Amino acid sequence: MLGNVILDTKDIAPGLPRGWGLQFQCIASGEAAFNVVANRTAGGDPVSIQLDSTRGVGINNFDFHQNVSFRWGVPLSIVGTKFSGVKIRDSALEISLPQGTPGISMANNQQSLPALFVNPNQGIAGYDATTGGSGRTATRFSCPTCHSIVYGTAEVMPGLINVYAGSLDDTAQFKPQIAIFTRSRPAWDDSSRGLTCFETVPSR
């Protein structure tokens, strides 16, 4: 498992608490690296990263390195005793690790966050909000299931919602009336012909 970013968590439903970032089980051989679990604000059963050896063959020949757990509020969790050849190294894991588990070696881990994380406190809402072409904040809202962008808002156009045509089930029901950011369109794109065009966004 390489290069995943998990920001926040939530319970499945009332009475079904969750709060897990990453969980590893039943591994004959594998690697986990460059993953980030950060900024939990919810979830009634928090687990940042868990190595659970109680299933199947346990966890064996597993190289866990350059991973980060930050502001999750709990340490890495080690469950069971079926470990062999597991290396936990070169990671920033927020809270001191449990020591002395047979089959697990630890090296060069730290609790402080690496300097390369220039904005570590930014959560999901912060990543959805960006600086738009107007120089002011534009926020995009995604489907909680598939994470596709569905609609957006922009400070420069208060009271309006941008619905992304690609999110519609039937695009035949959609008839555009204006075209925005035409300054960025390629020379061959004439889809805005006959529409009111704006090089960036309309002012109100």
The beta-strand segments (E) located in 53-195 are: 59-65, 68-70, 77-79, 83-89, 104-107, 129-131, 137-142, 149-154, 162-163, 178-179
H or E stretch covering 32: strand 30-33
pLDDT at 124: 62
pLDDT at 144: 65
User: Does residue 166 share a domain with residue 103?
Assistant: no
Residue 64: CB atoms within 10 Å: 27
**34-54 pLDDT, tens digit each:** 998 988 888 888 888 999 999
Beta partners for residue 49, in sequence order: 22
User: Does residue 133 share a domain with residue 96?
Assistant: no
Starting at the edge strand that comes first in sequence, how are the strands of the sheet with 30-33 ordered? 30-33, 59-65, 83-89, 104-107
User: Does residue 131 share a domain with residue 47?
Assistant: no
pLDDT at 62: 96
**Residue 203 forms part of a structural domain:** no
**Residue 115 forms part of a structural domain:** no
C-beta separation of 62 from 31 below 8 A: yes
**Residue 119 forms part of a structural domain:** no
C-beta separation of 156 from 132 below 8 A: yes
**Residue 112 forms part of a structural domain:** no
For 27, the domain range is 5-107
User: Does residue 139 share a domain with residue 101?
Assistant: no
User: Does residue 102 share a domain with residue 13?
Assistant: yes
- Quote the pTM value: 0.62
**Residue 9 forms part of a structural domain:** yes
User: Does residue 102 share a domain with residue 9?
Assistant: yes
User: Does residue 79 share a domain with residue 16?
Assistant: yes
**161-200 pLDDT, tens digit each:** 888 777 788 878 778 888 888 888 888 988 888 889 988 8
Task: State the total domains in the chain.
Answer: 2
99 — pLDDT class (breaks 50, 70, 90): low
Starting at the edge strand that comes first in sequence, how are the strands of the sheet with 36-38 ordered? 5-7, 36-38, 68-70
Residue 138: CB atoms within 10 Å: 19
**Residue 159 forms part of a structural domain:** yes
pLDDT value at 60 more than 90: yes
Which single residue is written with the structure tokens 């009111």?
A: 196
User: Does residue 140 share a domain with residue 69?
Assistant: no
Last residue of a domain, one of 74, 107, 140: 107
**Residue 135 forms part of a structural domain:** yes
